[in-house]
Amino acid sequence: MAKGRVRSRMELREQYEAAEAREREKAAEIEDDEDIGDLDEADDEGETTTEASAKKKKAKVVGEAKPSRKKTAKVVRKRVVWVVYDNSNKPIQTFNYPNKAEADALAEKLTAERKQTYFVQPVKEEIKE
């Protein structure tokens, strides 16, 4: 078994938030150092500090990543047909959707002749162009 005290979820959360705050402070300090360097360069070139900061903001806007576009799935057209199956789910014959009566009649006929079970189910199949 583990020795020592059990660390609570709240304590772990506080530690995590403190670490995040330190990272944010470091990032802010680094940005400030870069800004000061940019302003020094701008002063050397004769530009005002507001112009330099405006240019930097424009550069940030241009550098933002655009969200990636996902490819849309190709739409496959389908149609419904009636299929007569035997007991082992093997398709016997296929009928167009309006011909359900014919499919039912064939299933009943085969059931009477062969003394096996035949049934009709709707199936969606791709339309081949």
Domain residue extents for the chain? 9-63, 78-126
Region of 89 on the Ramachandran plot (φ > 0 left; ψ -120 to 50 alpha; else beta): left
- For residue 70, the model assigns a pLDDT of 82
Amino acid, single-letter form, for residue 127: I
pTM over 0.85: no
pLDDT tens-digit readout, 20-66: 999 988 888 887 776 665 555 545 555 556 666 665 555 555 556 77
pLDDT at 97 over 90: yes
- For residue 6, the model assigns a pLDDT of 73
Alpha-carbon gap, residue 15 to 9, rounded angstroms? 10
